[in-house]
Amino acid sequence: MVKAEIKNIIFDLGGVILNLAVENTHREFARLSGLPIEEIKTKVHHGDFFHAYERGLISDSEFRNSLRQSLNVHAPDADLDNAWNAMLLDIPHERFALLERLKQTHRLFLLSNTNEIHRQCFNAHVQHASGKPAIDHYFHQAYFSHLLKLSKPDLAIYQHVLTDQNLVPHQTVFLDDNPDNLAGAAKAGIHTFHVQHPNQIFDFFA
């Protein structure tokens, strides 16, 4: 990859722009349910209902009811949402500043596997931290799996972004913390960069 040829930058959100601590959510669900954390990991993030929710195939209420059934809890919506959102941390101001700078010279896009409960939460974080109404402000277009009914690492989601924005793959780079997602982008001809710690993005764009 020759960086001077890159005109389009596609960012993942969690673990790249937004700090994450997934263990916080596991701990909160363990507290609500009394189940061990190892069992929580299997039930919450590897269940069919999780993947369906991420692809927008079930509603918020159906997701919450699936959580209740899977964890055998009778918690109210607010408690489930708070536990689910506990993994979402902050976006440091210097990352907002980097995006603002890059947006002046490149076409910037966001491509995130997410869901509506999380989207409302991280947009509230963005509004509190930056005064902007949503993370979308920092990109020319934001793409979310649950709205597209597609998810990474399936080839179709990358092809959708390329086609929708008329992007040339070899002029495009995708930054993600998940190697599987990077492999999917590479199949679409997109350059990739593995973000193993969010602050690596500063090194990449130095």
Preceding amide of 92 cis, omega within 30: no
By CB atoms closer than 10 A (0-12, 13-18, 19+), residue 136 is middle
Which pLDDT score, from 0 to 100, does residue 83 have? Answer: 98
Which pLDDT score, from 0 to 100, does residue 3 have? Answer: 78
Positive or negative torsion for Cα 130, 131, 136, 140? negative
Question: What are the residues whose beta carbons fall under 8 Å from the beta carbon of 27, sequence distance 6 or more?
Answer: 37, 86
Distance CA 183, CA 62 (A): 31
**Which CA distances in Å does 118 have to 40, 91, 100, 113?**
18, 14, 23, 10
pLDDT tens, position by position, for the chain (206 residues)? Answer: 777 799 999 999 999 999 999 999 999 999 999 999 999 998 888 779 999 999 999 999 999 999 999 999 999 999 999 999 999 999 999 999 999 999 999 999 999 999 999 999 999 999 999 999 999 999 999 999 999 999 999 999 999 999 999 999 999 999 999 999 999 999 999 999 999 998 999 999 98
Which pLDDT score, from 0 to 100, does residue 158 have? Answer: 98
pTM value is 0.96
CATH for 22-85 (1.10.150.240, 3.10.105.10, 1.10.357.140, 3.10.310.30) = 1.10.150.240
Which pLDDT score, from 0 to 100, does residue 153 have? Answer: 98
Helix (H) or strand (E) holding 204: helix 200-204
Report which of 40, 38, 57, 39 is spatially closest to residue 49, judged by C-alpha positions.
57
Domain boundaries, the chain: 3-19+90-204, 22-85
- CATH architecture assigned to 3-19+90-204: 3-Layer(aba) Sandwich (3.40)
Taking phi first (over 0 means left), then psi (-120 to 50 degrees means alpha), and beta for anything else, what does residue 111 get? Answer: beta
The amino acid at residue 198 is: P
Distance CA 36, CA 34 (A): 7
